Structure 1
């Protein structure tokens, strides 16, 4: 199953979540703190504190930046 680290109200996060829903891909939504300094879980999995971050264990991929994530989803799940 995929994990999507996201911030409530983040338009980039919502775009990725919407695309996952459109593709019918099961994923776990992991809500993160608004303050960058409190995003230790995101830092642990991705090496940085920005969101969205997608973790796909099946492909061995952890990536940030919505455009890259959308390209990955199109290539592997569309």
Structure 2
């Protein structure tokens, strides 16, 4: 299952979550801390602390940056 690391109120995260919903992709939200210094889980999976981050083990994908994520979603699920 796809995992979306996101932050409450993050507009970039919301765009990705909305597109996942539109494409009817099952995903699990992993909510992260507001402080960058406390985003250890995001750092562990992606090597950086920014969100959104998508992890899709079925496709061997871990990526950040909403534009890249949206391109991946379009090419994989649309």
How high is the TM-score relative to the length of structure 1?
A: 1.00
Aligned to 1:17: 17
Moved over 2 A (4+): none
Distance apart, 1:74 and its partner CA: 0.1
Question: RMSD of the TM alignment (CA)?
Answer: 0.2
User: How big is each residue's C-alpha offset from its partner over 1:33-74, in whole Å with a ceiling of 9 and x where there is no partner?
Assistant: 000000000000000000000000010000000000000000
- Number of residue pairs the alignment of both structures matches: 78
Unaligned runs of 5+ residues in structure 1 are: none
Unaligned runs of 5+ residues in structure 2 are: none
